[in-house]
Structure 1
Amino acid sequence: MVVAPYVTAWSAEQDLQCTLVERPDGSIGYAKELLSDRDSHGVLWRQTGLRHQVGRPEFARVHPLRQRRAMELSLCQVCGGPADINDDGVLWLLRDFRGDWPGWPEGMASTEPPVCLACVPVALRSCPALQRGAVTVRVRHCPIVGVRGVIYRRGTLTPTAVTADNFGYDDPLVGRVLASALVRELRGCRDAVLSGVPGIMRA
């Protein structure tokens, strides 16, 4: 049986056909837009079909709505249940990039939701990227600070995609972003001491 994380998109969950248009305020929108197409900050989101566990899991793709839900509600990215939290903070399982800067992952912008204790060994066994090196981290403060998505410039007929990046909600360009993931900033990070989890590397 294939173990697919809760946030993984499935082959039956393709992007919906939505026409992008320019809005009078300089932002982008859909030609036929619903209130649910935007988040509480007014940012436009990519619309993807909801057919969870239909077809085959596509591990390289994350489903925008489930990622957003997991981030907003602090759900485990693997099982979709509540993430683990204690007095030291919320539990995150991250690729090991401690060489990126002193104190990593303090201040890191993460699009990966947290995890629960039971799913740590599952993720370590099933994710090739984590097998190359992973750390468990407790995070005391993890505010939602923005989105990851594609920014669009003005085109001849319709807005034209430029590049994907992270954008803070205070960025004046965020109104031209088609979001696909929420971003939390990890603050107050410390090592998560887990017993009985083989292969984990300490932060």
Structure 2
Amino acid sequence: MSLIMKVSETGFRYPYVIGWTGEVQEHRLQWKQHRDGETLAYVDHRRSDYALGALRLRQGQKMTGRPDFKTMNTRRQWRSMDKHLCQVCAGSAVDRDTGRIWWLLSSGYGDDGDGYTNAPPTCRACIPEAISQCSHLRRNAAVFTVAASYPYGVRGDVFLPYLPPVAPFERNALVRFTDDEIAHCIARELVVRLHDVQPAVTDGDGQWLP
């Protein structure tokens, strides 16, 4: 997939991972019988629909329509998590000097351990822009570097097996890859567990240091 960024007429860079209204797609669902029970699938199922055993939400990738800052495009979010790409510019979020990954999270993160997140990393160059453009981050942002990340689960919509998959039983639920419900949901976002989370600091010029 080529790296595409959309820029507004005023020069505002739309984050790489956000969803767009023109990318929404409707697809019929069905239950498929497996030896371990019922598994959710699209009626016209494809092997590429699944990643790590989870059925992913189908969406377009052309960034058409209007930007929807409340959602993330599933494939772009997943790709950013998997390849440690910046959620703003889609460039690498790995620090060239240390090999650690830059991650912009809410303040207080990591106080009780490494934890997990559905927020993709943010490269050092894009951190100031990301904070200035997001009201939540302006109030709560904290910058970290991370040694590694590992798949933990998904945020997705869970359906009840043996009932017609018309409406989800639960929306935006956290489902771990070890949970039985992973076979009953449509994954919207990949959730990863972070390892060795360390707070970053700034130098005298306000530049972030790992």
Deviation (angstroms), 1:197: 4.0
- What is the CA–CA distance in structure 2 between the aligned matches of 1:74 and 1:50, rounded to whole Å? 19
Deviation (angstroms), 1:158: 3.1
Unpaired runs of 5+ residues, structure 1, are none
1:151–1:62: structure 2 CA closer, same or farther, 3 Å change rule?
Answer: same
Aligned to 1:50: 61
Q: How does 1:136-151 map to 2 (within 5 A)?
A: 136-151=143-158
1:143–1:157: structure 2 CA closer, same or farther, 3 Å change rule?
Answer: closer
Counterpart residue identity of residue 136, structure 1: V
Query: Residue 26 of structure 2: which of 17, 30, 51 is its match?
Result: 17
Per-residue CA distance 1:129-167 (angstroms, 9 max, x = gap): 101121101111311122111111036433540112122
Higher percent of residues as strand = 2
8 Å contact kept, 2:31–2:162:
no
SS of 2:90's equivalent? coil
Aligned to 2:189: 181
Aligned to 1:114: 121
Counterpart residue identity of residue 182, structure 1: L
Per-residue CA distance 1:43-62 (angstroms, 9 max, x = gap): 1111012222x332111111
SS of 1:161's equivalent? coil
Superposed CA RMSD: 2.0
Q: Percent identity?
A: 28
Query: Residue 36 of structure 1: which of 48, 55, 64 is its match?
Result: 48
Q: Which moved more, 1:19-28 or 1:187-196?
A: 187-196
What TM-score does the superposition give when structure 1 sets the normalisation length? 0.86
What TM-score does the superposition give when structure 2 sets the normalisation length? 0.83
Query: Residue 132 of structure 2: which of 120, 125, 139 is its match?
Result: 125
Unpaired runs of 5+ residues, structure 2, are 1-9
SS of 1:145's equivalent? strand
SS of 2:136's equivalent? helix
8 Å contact kept, 1:153–1:160:
no
1:94–1:194: structure 2 CA closer, same or farther, 3 Å change rule?
Answer: same
Aligned to 1:67: 77
Deviation (angstroms), 1:107: 2.9
SS of 1:187's equivalent? strand
- What is the CA–CA distance in structure 2 between the aligned matches of 1:156 and 1:165, rounded to whole Å? 19
SS of 2:179's equivalent? coil
Deviation (angstroms), 1:87: 3.0
